[in-house]
Structure 1
Amino acid sequence: MANPSPLLSALTTIAALPEVSAASAHVREVCTQLRWHEALRRRIPEAAAESRVRGAWASAELDGARSTASIVRDLMRGARERNPEPDPAERVIHGAISATSETEHLGQLVTRSPGQALARLHTVAAAQLVDDPDQLGRPRREGEGCEEFADLGVAPTGAELRDRLNGIIALMQGASEAPALVVASIVHAEIATVRPFVVGNGLVARAVERALIAETGLDPTRVAVPEAGHGHEGGPAYLGSLNGYVHGGQPGLVLWLRHCGDSLVAGAEEGWRIADSVRAGRIG
């Protein structure tokens, strides 16, 4: 990376803020405890699969598509057929399932070729959401807007959109430059703020966060459920924290990072419950 983005250059300063440093340390401690859960010695794939179920369910709920974990689980394992004419909520649920499932296959792509990773995630997340298939897997073009996350303000366009998207890619490429919590949280917030795609940005942002915390080693088992963490205090708390990131200066940035820290802790605790269920044979 010849020219680090301003955001990447600021990561060290951000990570050193006392509240952020404390949140990062707590998240790492809780995720380490999860890694050593007895059930994960031999049954990581089973637990990780259930994490993706609960992650997809939670991500869809954050976009307003109500469902149940049982319905999502049955859809993901093929025990329930998808509606051939899905309603708007079902299309979001299908997108959340596809994006969350795709994170399992990204691996190092999320840091080595972030643009390709973003394109893949959007292609599967928004397959049933876009009006024109040509809009899949590519940033918005001149004249294309985005109505998502309206409370965050007007989505950038033109040169600003390109510059901000380049900054997101640089952050993902430099994921080892700062604590995983900081990188994953800011990438998440930037995707939601910039809204590089016509639709499906929230699904992509949450899937990218899941992929980053796995690839950076914070949650190598992929059993934590960060999406459920973001929803554990309700959608308004999630959106309010994002609003703080956009409009609140440094206090708003710290508010968002603390929210993400709390969310990853809650997500790791959800992962612990999954591991308990796997050990007891009670999944599903």
Structure 2
Amino acid sequence: MAPTPLRPTPVPNVPSEVASAVTALASLPGIAEKVDAAREACTQLRWHNALRRRIPEAAAESRVRGARASGELDGARLSVEIVRDLMRGAVTWHDEMDPVEQVMRGVIAATAETERLGPVVLTAPMQALARLHTAAAAGLVPDSELGRPRLDGEDSREFVEIGEAPPAAEARERLARVVEVLASAATLPVPIVAALAHAEIVTARPFTRGNGVVARAVERAVIQAGGLDPTGVAVPEVGHGTGGGPAYLGGLTAYTRGDAAGVGLWLTHCCDAIVAGAQEGERIADAVLAGRLT
């Protein structure tokens, strides 16, 4: 049975109910310290000398490295040099793309879309999700499936390692709870909001395809729009890949149990990913300062 840590509620006072549920998860043993570590790492990144005047350059490289890492978590591997050239338009896709290119085209498009989302991911979450899914899954699914959750009878065969996808109706319900959490993010710990949105999208699999790409792009967008890393230079996708694909899938599998230990393990993984992503952001800033990203 899929977890329901973000329990739905029919009462009108949805934001306070959502806030209570998220606050309870943030109070799990050891999580407050992990949240503080994520905040401290992002604060340290924000004050890097290179980011006084060259944030756009560093943020662009963050999206390059984020797209590469996100694709690798989906089994699609391209060098950072090729991803960089694709994102800046120096090279183009083949007319007949192989499976890696097909996946990476969506990963690059969704990661690039995070730059344009701004506060929309928190003020109009469903619109943001539709835009990200359209970018991630274009060419991979029929146009009629782009930007919308699965309909009854539609399935998703992604992330089978963590179990079967729930029925479409349940997936839509859980996506609605993600939207509630994102809309309430202003009063909640940003690392927890980002982690929950990520896990719910992956485990519920509300889209027929592209769920992992959308989940990681949403996390990136929330971390920036929520003010944790307003520069957009941190690379949380690299953080998720630090322990390799098995560690990432292991955290998600633990989350599917729905118990405190499992959810806590995933929240810990995500906070650690933000710390590692901020450290990758510092390496980017160092390279910008040294003129190595010309």
By the TM > 0.5 criterion, same fold? Answer: yes
Distance of 1:55 and 1:106 partners within structure 2: 16
Distance of 1:57 and 1:5 partners within structure 2: 38
Q: 1:6 to 1:83 in 2, by over 3 A?
A: farther
Distance of 2:20 and 2:258 partners within structure 1: 20
For residue 249 of structure 1, the aligned residue among 224, 249, 259 is 259
Distance of 1:101 and 1:171 partners within structure 2: 23
For residue 103 of structure 2, the aligned residue among 70, 74, 92 is 92
Residues 79-125 of structure 1: per-residue CA shift (max 9 Å, x gap): 11111111111111111100000000011110111111000000011
1:45 lines up with 2:56 in the alignment: yes
Distance of 2:200 and 2:17 partners within structure 1: 13
1:240 lines up with 2:250 in the alignment: yes
Task: Point out where structure 2 has 5 or more consecutive residues left out of the alignment.
Answer: 1-11
1:142–1:158 contact (8 Å) kept in structure 2? yes
Residues 205-253 of structure 1: per-residue CA shift (max 9 Å, x gap): 0000000000010000000000010001101100000000012511011
Residues 169-198 of structure 1: per-residue CA shift (max 9 Å, x gap): 101101123211110001000000111100
Give, as a single letter, the amino acid of the residue that structure 1 aligns with 2:194. Answer: A
SS at match of 2:14: coil
Size of the alignment, in residue pairs? 283
Task: Point out where structure 1 has 5 or more consecutive residues left out of the alignment.
Answer: none
The residue correspondences of 1:147-226 to structure 2 (distance < 5 A) are: 147-226=157-236
Give, as a single letter, the amino acid of the residue that structure 2 aligns with 1:98. Answer: A
1:121 lines up with 2:132 in the alignment: yes
Partner of 2:32: 21
SS at match of 1:10: helix
Give, as a single letter, the amino acid of the residue that structure 2 aligns with 1:30. Answer: A
SS at match of 2:44: helix
For residue 288 of structure 2, the aligned residue among 263, 278, 281 is 278
Distance of 1:7 and 1:173 partners within structure 2: 10
1:5–1:171 contact (8 Å) kept in structure 2? no
Distance of 1:5 and 1:164 partners within structure 2: 17
SS at match of 2:156: coil
Q: Bigger CA drift: 142-151 or 271-280?
A: 142-151
Q: 1:6 to 1:64 in 2, by over 3 A?
A: farther
Q: 1:2 to 1:84 in 2, by over 3 A?
A: farther
Residues 16-47 of structure 1: per-residue CA shift (max 9 Å, x gap): 22411000000100100000000000000000
Q: 1:7 to 1:243 in 2, by over 3 A?
A: farther
Q: Bigger CA drift: 176-185 or 158-167?
A: 158-167
Distance of 1:78 and 1:55 partners within structure 2: 17
For residue 89 of structure 2, the aligned residue among 72, 78, 83 is 78
Distance of 2:85 and 2:287 partners within structure 1: 17
1:106 lines up with 2:104 in the alignment: no
Instruction: Give the drift of 1:280.
Output: 0.2
Instruction: Give the drift of 1:4.
Output: 3.8
1:8–1:170 contact (8 Å) kept in structure 2? no
Give, as a single letter, the amino acid of the residue that structure 1 aligns with 2:238. Answer: A
Distance of 1:47 and 1:162 partners within structure 2: 36
SS at match of 2:147: coil
SS at match of 2:30: helix
Identity over aligned residues, as a percent? 59
2:137–2:210 contact (8 Å) kept in structure 1? yes
1:259 lines up with 2:269 in the alignment: yes
Partner of 1:55: 66
Instruction: Give the drift of 1:158.
Output: 4.1
Give, as a single letter, the amino acid of the residue that structure 1 aligns with 2:136. Answer: A
Partner of 2:7: none
Instruction: Give the drift of 1:66.
Output: 1.1
Q: 1:158 to 1:231 in 2, by over 3 A?
A: closer
For residue 240 of structure 2, the aligned residue among 230, 243, 257 is 230
Instruction: Give the drift of 1:7.
Output: 5.3
